[in-house]
Chains A and B, each alone.
Chain A
Amino acid sequence: MKNRWTLYDPRLAWMLIAPVLLLLIFFLVLPIAVMAVYTFFTFVTAGVETSALTAANWHEFLTDSYYHGFLLKTLRVGAMTALLCGVLGYFPAYFIWATSFKHKWLLLLLLIVPFWISFTIRTFSWINILGEQGVINVALIKMGIISEPLPMLYTEGAVIMGLLHFLLPYMILNVYVSLESIDRTLISAARSMGCTSAQAFREVTLPLSLPGLAAGLLLCFVLAAGSYVTPQLLGSGRDALFGNLIYDTIMSELNWPMGATLSIVLFVVLGFFAAIYTRYMGMSQIVKGLGG
C-alpha cells in the first residue's frame, strides 16, 4: 500500500505534523482570531455581551487616557527591565565565555536551575528580602541604621527587581550563545595586530555578540511587558501593568469585549516590536536563545 509513496513523501510529513498543527490552530491562531472579532462585540452587562458589531470598545480604548497611561507605563517598565537585563546580563555571559575556570558547566547549570524553580516561588521569595520583615530591613534595623522599616516592597522598583530576577537567565543565555559562536581566532588576530584588550573587545567581540544581545533585549522586553504575576505579588495597585488590567477586566469586571480589545492591543504592540526585530535580525537568534 505504501509502495507508491516516496521516501520523504510530503503526505507523510502532513500526517506527522497534524497533531501540532491542530494544536496551534485551535489553541493559538483561532483564539487570537476570535478575540479580534470579539473586540467589536457590544458589552451589555457583566458577563453578557451581544454580537451586535460596534466600535465602542476601540473608541473607549483610543480616547480614554486611563488606558494610554497603562500602556505607556507597561512599555516603560518593559524597556527599563530589558535595558537593565542587558547591562547586568552581559557581564556574566562574557565571564562564563572567557573564563578558564575548570567547572564552567557549573556556572551554566546554575543559570538553568532558576528555570526549574517555580516562577511564583521565585517571585514571592523577594518578599523575604524586601519586605518589612525581610533580610534588608531586619539587618538595617539591627545595625541601628534605620529605626523604621524602609518601604521597598509594593513599589515599582520591587516589580522591576522581580522581573529582572525572572529574566536575567534568558538574557545571559542569549548573549552567551552568541559569544560562543564567535571564532576566537578573530580576537587573537586583533590582539596580535596591536589591539589592546579593550579595543579588541570593542571592535570584535562586542559587535559579534550584538545579535544575542538584541534577541535577549526583545525577549526580556516582551516577557516583562506581558507579565501578570510579578506586579500582582510585588507591586501595589498603582504598579499594575497591562497584563493585570486585562486580567481584571475579564475576571473581575467580566467585560469580555473590552478584555479582548486590550489583549489585541498588547498583542499588536508587542508584535510590532518583534516585527521590527525580525526585520533586521531574523528569527534564528531567538530560536538559539530559547534552547535550539
Chain B
Amino acid sequence: MTGIGRMKASRPNKEGKWAWRLTGFVTLCVYIFMFAPIAATVILSFNASMFGGFPMTGFSLQWYGKLMANEAVLAAFRTSLWIALVTAVATTAIGVVTSFALVRFDFPGKQMLSTLVILPALVPETILGVGLLVLIKAVDQPRTLLLLVLGHILLAVPYVVLITQARMVGIRRVYEEAALSLGASRFSSFREITLPLLIPAVVAGALLAFTISFDNTSASLFWRPAGVETMPTQILSMLKISISPEINALGTVMILVTVGIPLIGGLIMQSLTRLKRRGEPKEEAR
C-alpha cells in the first residue's frame, strides 16, 4: 500500500509530469510571494541608509538603538502586551467553558449559538468597530481600555472555541463520567480529567488569541481610548509620516516576538508531550 499517496507513481505519463512540475513551480512562487516582502523588511532594518529603502549602503544596528529610545513605541508595546495577555487568558477561559457546553450538553439554541460564536471572525472588523462605537455613543459611555480588551476577546473567541471544540470532541465523556461515579465533584472531574486532556488545544488557543489581539489593527483604531496607541496603530501613525528604517527595525522586532512565542510554545508543548509519552498528534501548527 505504498502507491496511494503518489498518484503519479502508478502510471507515469508526460502530461501528468508537466502538470506536477507546474504545480510545484506555482507553489514555489507563492511561497516566495509570501515571504519576500517580510525578508526585505528584515534586511532593510539593518541598512545604514537614512531612507527606508534599497540600495543597502552598509550594515548598521542604529535603527534598533533609536527604537529602544523611542518612548512612544515602547509605551505602545507595553500597552499591546498587556492587552494581549489579558485577552489570551480571558478568551481561553471563556472559550474552554463554551466548548465544553457545546460538546457535552444539549440545550435549546445550541445550533444558533455555535453559528453566532463564529460570526465575529466573518463580519468585517470595520463593521464590528463602528457597531460598538455607535452603541457606546448611544448610551453615552466613554471608550475605555476595558472596552478595547472585551472587543479583542470578541474577535479571538471564535478561533479559541473552534480549536478547543475540535479537541473536546475527541475526548470521550466516559472518562469524566468515570471520575464522577467515583465521587469526584463536577469541577474536579473537569480539572483532573478534561482539562489535562485538553491542554494542547488550550495552549494553541491561548497563543492564537494572544497574536490576534497583539496584531489587531482595524477594530483597535475604532475602539482605543483617546491617546492610547497599541503597537499596530502606532505603526500606522508612524507610516503616515514617512517610511523610516526605524519602522523596518520595529517590524523585525515584532516578527521575532509574534513568531518566536508560538514557535517556542509549540516546541515546549512537543517536548512536554514527548516526556509524558502520550503520543498525541502535533498541535502547535494551529
CB atoms of B34 and A168 under 8 A apart: yes
The verdict on A217 contacting chain B, using a C-beta distance below 8 Å, is: no
Q: Kindly identify, within residues 15 to 43 of chain B, every residue whose CB is under 8 Å from any CB belonging to chain A.
A: 15-16, 19-20, 22-24, 26-27, 30-31, 33-38, 40-41
Report the separation of the CA atoms of residues A16 and B117 in the bound assembly, to the nearest whole angstrom: 14
Q: At the interface, yes or no: B75 with Cβ under 8 Å from chain A?
A: no
Q: Taking CB as reference atom, which chain A residue is nearest B2?
A: A100
Q: Given A105-B282, A117-B255, A169-B34, do A20 and B26 touch, yes or no (CB 8 Å)?
A: no
The chain B residue sitting closest to A183, CB to CB, is B4
A246 near B126: Cβ-Cβ < 8 Å: yes
Structural contact, A128 and B53, CB atoms closer than 8 A: yes
Give the residues in chain A near B200, CB-CB below 8 Å.
Answer: none
- Kindly supply a per-residue 1/0 record for chain B positions 100-137, scoring 1 wherever the CB is within 8 Å of any chain A CB and 0 otherwise: 11101111100001011111111111111011111101
* Interface status of A53 (Cβ within 8 A of chain B): no
Task: Please name the residue on chain A nearest to B251 by beta carbon.
Answer: A121
**Taking the complex as formed, is B180 at the interface, i.e. its CB lies under 8 A from any CB of chain A?**
yes
8 A Cβ contacts from B221-276 to A: 221-222, 231-232, 235-236, 239, 243, 247-248, 251, 254-255, 258-259, 262
A91: chain B residues within 8 A (beta carbon): 22-23, 26-27, 30
Asked if A223 and B124 make an inter-chain contact with CB atoms under 8 angstroms apart, the answer reads yes
The size class of the interface chain B forms with chain A is 35 or more
B16 and A198 contact, CB distance less than 8 A: yes
- A144 CB to closest chain B CB, in angstroms? 15
Which residues, 119 to 142 on A, are CB-close (under 8 Å) to B? 119-122, 124-129, 131-135, 138-139, 142
> Is A79 part of the contact surface with B, judged by Cβ < 8 Å?
no
Among B51, B126, B138, point to the contact of A226 (Cβ < 8 A).
Answer: B126
- Check A117/B40 contact, CB under 8 A, given A131-B53, A134-B54, A247-B126: no
Q: Is A38 located at the chain interface by the 8 A CB criterion?
A: yes
When A16-B101, A16-B105, A263-B126 are in contact, do A290 and B162 touch as well, CB less than 8 Å?
A: yes
- If A17-B113, A89-B30 touch, does A116 touch B211 (CB 8 Å cutoff)? yes
Q: Which residue of A lies closest to B26 (CB)?
A: A91
Q: Is A65 an interface residue when CB atoms closer than 8 A count as contact?
A: no
Nearest-neighbour CB distance to chain A for B16, whole angstroms, equals 4
Residue of B nearest to A95 (CB): B27
Which among A29-37, A55-63, A206-214 touches the partner chain? A29-37
B177: Cβ under 8 A from any A Cβ: yes
Partner of A197, one of B11, B24, B108: B11
Is the C-beta of A272 less than 8 angstroms from some C-beta in chain B?
no
Residues in chain B near residue A251, CB distance under 8 A: 221-222
Check B166 for interface membership: any CB of A closer than 8 A.
yes
Residue A150 is within 8 A (CB to CB) of chain B in the complex: no
- In contact, A8 and B132 (Cβ under 8 angstroms): no
Structural contact, B117 and A267, CB atoms closer than 8 A: no
| Complex contacts, A112 vs chain B, CB 8 Å | 285-286
* Chain B residues near A12 (CB-CB < 8 A): 105, 186
| B215 pairs with A118, CB closer than 8 A | yes
Q: Which residue of A has the minimal Cβ distance to B56?
A: A138
- Min CB distance A137 to B, Å, is 8
- Ordered nearest first, which 7 A-B pairs have the shortest CB separation? A226-B124, A133-B53, A31-B131, A13-B105, A197-B16, A125-B37, A91-B26
| Interface CB pairs A-B, < 8 A, 24 | A8-B105, A17-B101, A20-B113, A28-B120, A95-B26, A95-B27, A98-B20, A114-B34, A116-B211, A117-B254, A120-B232, A124-B239, A124-B247, A133-B52, A188-B3, A188-B7, A192-B10, A197-B11, A222-B122, A226-B123, A229-B217, A251-B221, A290-B121, A292-B163
Supplied contacts A121-B38, A127-B52, 20 more A-B pairs, CB within 8 Å: A21-B113, A34-B134, A35-B135, A95-B27, A108-B285, A118-B217, A119-B232, A122-B37, A128-B41, A135-B40, A165-B33, A222-B124, A226-B125, A228-B217, A233-B239, A243-B218, A263-B127, A267-B124, A291-B286, A292-B165
